[in-house]
């Protein structure tokens, strides 16, 4: 279903006012005990380990406020203990070992145990439970518990296993409570072991969290946190400018520049692990390599970053951002519209006889997402490509991608908080992956052996070679690494997180 396009400022401000009115008065930004965040997406589910929402990077900030991951990350993406205090492989990588901390508690007051960890890992590895990353979790088994220590057999070597324990679906859930209330009961009353407990949840409205005093980590500064779901970017601007929210994110960069200079407000930004890219589906016109290559060569990425994003972005030519382990600055796709015209002419296309297809995009989900696609469509039109824009919600993108029914081109932001090439190029481009739209034997033959490569240096070089091959054949069109804009009120300090998180437990009151 297409999203209704709201373009009038009055309509957007009205939507913001309605969102504010839906939140109880004591949940408004008012004092130093409550932190209100105008957030850019709704929360569709409270189980962070199953379903399509579990692999949506944009809602992980909420999950990480309530639940603990096996392994945690610092704002610079370095790893640190979570529920696990130690982890690793044996010498020949046939076993893994993990140590569970002994000072963690569930929100109902019961203790987090190694049994909870084993149950969570076994559940994640069971294909019947619906974990989208089951093919990672299912590679270890035969768990053994000895005190707080866990060992398991490696059924199939997975080089990114422990990295995934800090990433999507890598959350520990309470065995006894979940089995008692079931999936439906957990949705109604979720509990975790994180710094905040769920107090009230209104779908499409807000979630209010209360500080968990038995949390094992540092005590958060705020007693109450409210995530207000405000998908419209203009409404998020209104929220923070009016004082109805203390923090907001993912707003247009011209608004970011304006608001950070406004009295009472501050702005922080940092390049993050999210990248903007255009998925290409191996259907219709995209089966023609000349069309794909022309589409890539016709895009002036630097102009998009400089003019539309006011310099808040880093142009990229592969699915690796500079912070990723397999980034290779030597692989590039130049801006060359004349070459694009030549390639299209070789396939019988021109400005008078353009190749036609649909490109799908969100609008307002990321700063200038729709406007970027408008600009790209204009660049394409100049070389002989006529693309119709279809706007949809991000949830629809996940649905279509899972069904492998995306349009020939589809804009998306890919999050890779662990910076590993397997979780960018690997999952995005390997045909059997549920997250891929490109399915060809040549590429699968290159990526396939890398999944189980035990030589880390060889694995990284292998992915660099894959990225070069993808760039040469234009199997995907990487655009840019995002810079995350965050605006917040005076009196608090917000530490930017390269994983694109806004974590309330990391927001500090200025002394």
Per-residue pLDDT of 361-383, as tens digits, reads 999 888 889 999 999 999 999 99
Sequence-distant contacts of 374-377: CB under 8 A, at least 24 apart? 375/303, 375/304, 375/308, 376/278, 376/299, 376/304
Q: pLDDT per residue over 318-376, tens digit each?
A: 999 988 889 999 999 999 999 999 999 999 999 999 999 999 999 988 888 999 999 99
Reading the block at residue 120, the tokens are 């969570």
Residue with more model confidence, 133 or 193: 193
Express as a percent the part of the chain with pLDDT over 90.
83
Residue 95, beta-bridge partner list: 153
Residue 178 pLDDT more than 90?
yes
145 close to 128: Cβ distance less than 8 angstroms: no
Q: DSSP state, 309?
A: S
Whole-number mean pLDDT of the chain?
A: 92
CA dist 195 → 75, 223, 255 (Å):
17, 10, 32
* Residue 291: exposure state from Cβ atoms within 10 A (0-12, 13-18, ≥19): buried
How far is the C-alpha of 260 from the C-alpha of 211, rounded, in Å? 29
Confidence (pLDDT) at 4: 34
Mean pLDDT of 460-477: 98
Per-residue pLDDT, 341: 98
pLDDT of the residue at 435? 87
Evaluate if residue 14 carries a pLDDT over 70.
no
Q: What does the pLDDT look like over 217-236, one tens digit per residue?
A: 999 999 999 999 999 999 99
* Number of C-beta neighbours around residue 418 at 10 A: 25
Per-residue pLDDT, averaged over 28-40, amounts to 82
**C-beta of residue 67 within 8 angstroms of C-beta of residue 212:** no
* Residue range 445-453: mean pLDDT, rounded: 94
Q: What percent of the chain has pLDDT over 70?
A: 94
What local confidence, expressed as pLDDT, does residue 13 receive?
35
pLDDT tens digits for range 250-259 = 888 999 999 9
What is the reported pLDDT for 2?
Answer: 30
pLDDT per position as a tens digit, 378-437 = 999 999 999 999 999 988 998 999 899 999 999 998 988 899 999 999 999 999 988 899
DSSP state of 160: T
In the predicted structure, residue 25 carries a pLDDT above the cut 90:
no
Domains and CATH numbers, the chain: 9-66+178-270+486-509 (3.40.190.10), 71-175 (3.90.76.10), 271-483 (3.10.105.10)
**Each residue of 301-312: pLDDT tens digit?**
999 999 999 999
- pTM of the full structure: 0.79
- Say whether pLDDT at 1 is over 50: no
Q: Mean pLDDT over residues 25-52, rounded?
A: 82
**Are the beta carbons of 470 and 443 closer than 8 angstroms?**
yes
Predicted pLDDT of residue 18 = 40
Q: How far apart are CA 6 and CA 393, in angstroms?
A: 13
The torsion angles phi and psi of 419, rounded to 5 degrees, stand at 65, 20
């Amino acid at each position: 279903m297409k999203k209704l396009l709201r373009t009038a400022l009055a309509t957007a401000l009205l939507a913001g006012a309605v969102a504010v009115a839906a939140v109880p008065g004591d949940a408004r930004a008012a004092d130093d005990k409550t932190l209100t965040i105008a957030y850019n997406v709704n929360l569709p589910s409270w189980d962070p380990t199953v379903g399509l929402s579990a692999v949506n990077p944009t809602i992980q900030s909420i999950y990480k406020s309530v639940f603990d991951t096996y392994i945690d990350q610092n704002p610079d993406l370095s790893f640190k203990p979570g529920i696990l205090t130690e982890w690793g492989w044996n010498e020949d990588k046939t076993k893994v070992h993990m140590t569970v901390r002994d000072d963690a508690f569930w929100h109902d007051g019961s203790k987090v145990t190694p049994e909870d960890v084993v149950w969570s890992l076994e559940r994640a590895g069971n294909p019947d439970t619906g974990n989208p990353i089951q093919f990672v979790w299912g590679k270890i088994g035969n768990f053994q518990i000895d005190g707080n220590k866990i060992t398991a057999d490696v059924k199939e070597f997975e080089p990114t296993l422990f990295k995934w324990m800090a990433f999507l679906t890598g959350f520990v859930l309470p065995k006894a409570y979940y089995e008692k209330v079931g999936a439906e009961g957990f949705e109604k009353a979720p509990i975790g072991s994180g710094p905040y407990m769920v107090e009230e949840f209104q779908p499409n409205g807000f979630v209010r969290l209360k500080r968990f005093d038995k949390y094992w980590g540092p005590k958060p500064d705020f007693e109450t946190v409210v995530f207000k779901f405000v998908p419209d970017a203009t409404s998020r601007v209104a929220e923070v400018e009016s004082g109805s929210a203390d923090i907001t994110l993912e707003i247009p960069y011209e608004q970011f520049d304006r608001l950070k200079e406004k009295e009472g407000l501050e702005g922080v930004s940092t390049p993050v692990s999210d990248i903007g890219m255009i998925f290409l589906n191996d259907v219709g016109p995209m089966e023609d390599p000349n069309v794909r290559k022309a589409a890539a060569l016709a895009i002036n990425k630097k102009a998009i970053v400089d003019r539309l994003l006011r310099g808040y972005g880093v142009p990229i030519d592969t699915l690796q951002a500079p912070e990723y382990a397999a980034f290779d600055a030597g692989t590039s796709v130049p801006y060359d519209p004349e070459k694009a015209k030549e390639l299209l002419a070789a396939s019988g296309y021109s400005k008078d006889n353009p190749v036609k297809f649909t490109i799908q995009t969100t609008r307002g989900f990321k700063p200038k997402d729709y406007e970027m696609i408008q600009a790209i469509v204009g660049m394409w039109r100049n070389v002989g490509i006529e693309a119709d824009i279809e706007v949809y919600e991000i949830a629809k993108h996940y649905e279509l991608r899972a069904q492998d029914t995306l349009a020939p081109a589809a804009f998306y932001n890919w999050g890779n908080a662990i910076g590993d090439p397997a979780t960018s190029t690997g999952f995005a481009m390997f045909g059997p992956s549920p997250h891929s739209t490109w399915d060809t034997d040549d590429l699968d033959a290159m990526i396939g052996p890398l999944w189980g490569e035990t030589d880390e240096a060889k694995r990284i070089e292998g992915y660099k070679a894959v990225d070069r091959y993808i760039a040469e054949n234009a199997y995907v069109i990487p655009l840019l690494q995002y810079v995350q804009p965050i605006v917040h009120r005076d009196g608090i300090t917000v530490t930017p997180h390269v994983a694109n998180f806004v974590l309330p437990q990391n927001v500090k009151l200025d002394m």
